């Protein structure tokens, strides 16, 4: 029992030292994934924009080529030797004119799509100005806003990272020492009572920080549930009681005093 209490104390000390990091690692991770999400929106937008530009340049080149062909055909028509030759050239001209129309409508569609995106971003900006952040979809987020956000997130990450590094530098030796002690304590308990250790671990991984608690004023020191009177004697005699309400291991407080004096 004393061994378990001691393990609990070491574990709590480690928890306290780690909590000096004040959730910084999690905060930094959240910020990083936020920045990644924003960056991928920007990248997708840029890719789409670049592809549209290439497409438009190709279409413009096609139009120019068709126009040159038309000019050539028209020149040829002035020297056509007969109607048949003239009509054949007219057909070629018509074909090229149709090609120009097709290319122009493709360019128009690209421009319309671009305009649609700009309109969405304008709508997003208006919503942001009204603080209606929840209604702004990824598509609506203004490019400028995304760039600004990424920059400020990056500087926030930098700030928190250096804060975390400072804390780690201060506490790392303490953490290492505690981890060593915990390892030794676990090895000791494992030899004597395998079951107690697995019980402890099961509760601990269930999110309970203080697994071993004091028997205080007739109740479980963890959740304050009453301990049945029939179990009081066991606890006083140095045994333990598993709290029916929370599952914690309730032991006499003298074990805690002994653990501190170890």
- The residues of the shown chain that bind Zn ion, judged by CB under 5 A, are 220, 222-223, 225, 243, 245-246, 248
Closer residue to Zn ion, CB minimum distance, 102 or 231 = 231
Task: Supply the minimum distance, in Å, between the C-beta of residue 239 and Zn ion.
Answer: 16
Task: Supply the minimum distance, in Å, between the C-beta of residue 36 and Zn ion.
Answer: 42
Distance CA 91, CA 71 (A): 14
Closer residue to Zn ion, CB minimum distance, 124 or 222 = 222
Count H helices, E strands: the chain?
7, 4
User: What is the enclosing helix (H) or strand (E) of 180?
Assistant: helix 143-192
Sheet holding 212-216, edge to edge: 219-220, 212-216, 249-251, 241-242
Distance CA 148, CA 142 (A): 10
Closer residue to Zn ion, CB minimum distance, 146 or 249 = 249
Task: Supply the minimum distance, in Å, between the C-beta of residue 199 and Zn ion.
Answer: 14
Closer residue to Zn ion, CB minimum distance, 169 or 205 = 205
Distance CA 116, CA 135 (A): 18
Task: Supply the minimum distance, in Å, between the C-beta of residue 7 and Zn ion.
Answer: 19
């Amino acid at each position: 029992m004393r061994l378990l209490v001691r393990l609990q104390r070491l574990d709590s000390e480690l928890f306290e030292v780690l909590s000096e990091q004040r959730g910084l690692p999690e905060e930094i991770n959240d910020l990083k994934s936020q920045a990644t999400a924003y960056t991928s929106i920007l990248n997708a937008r840029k890719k789409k924009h670049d592809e549209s530009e290439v497409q438009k340049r190709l279409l413009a080149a096609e139009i120019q080529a068709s126009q040159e062909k038309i000019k050539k055909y028209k020149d040829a028509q002035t020297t056509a030797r007969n109607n048949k030759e003239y009509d054949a050239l007219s057909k070629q001209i018509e074909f090229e004119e149709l090609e120009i129309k097709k290319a122009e409508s493709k360019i128009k569609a690209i421009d319309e799509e671009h305009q649609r995106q700009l309109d969405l971003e304008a709508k997003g900006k208006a919503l942001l100005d009204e603080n209606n952040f929840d209604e702004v979809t990824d598509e609506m987020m203004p490019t400028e806003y995304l760039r600004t956000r990424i920059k400020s997130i990056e500087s926030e990450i930098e700030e928190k990272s250096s804060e975390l590094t400072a804390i780690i530098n201060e506490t790392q030796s303490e953490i290492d020492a505690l981890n060593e002690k915990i390892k030794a304590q676990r090895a000791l308990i494992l030899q004597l009572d395998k079951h107690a250790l697995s019980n402890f671990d099961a509760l601990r991984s269930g999110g309970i920080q203080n697994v071993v608690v004091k028997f205080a004023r007739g109740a479980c020191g963890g959740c304050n549930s009453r301990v049945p009177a029939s179990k009081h004697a066991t606890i006083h005699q140095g045994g333990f009681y598993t709290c029916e309400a929370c599952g914690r291991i309730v032991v006499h407080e003298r074990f805690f005093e002994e653990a501190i004096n170890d």
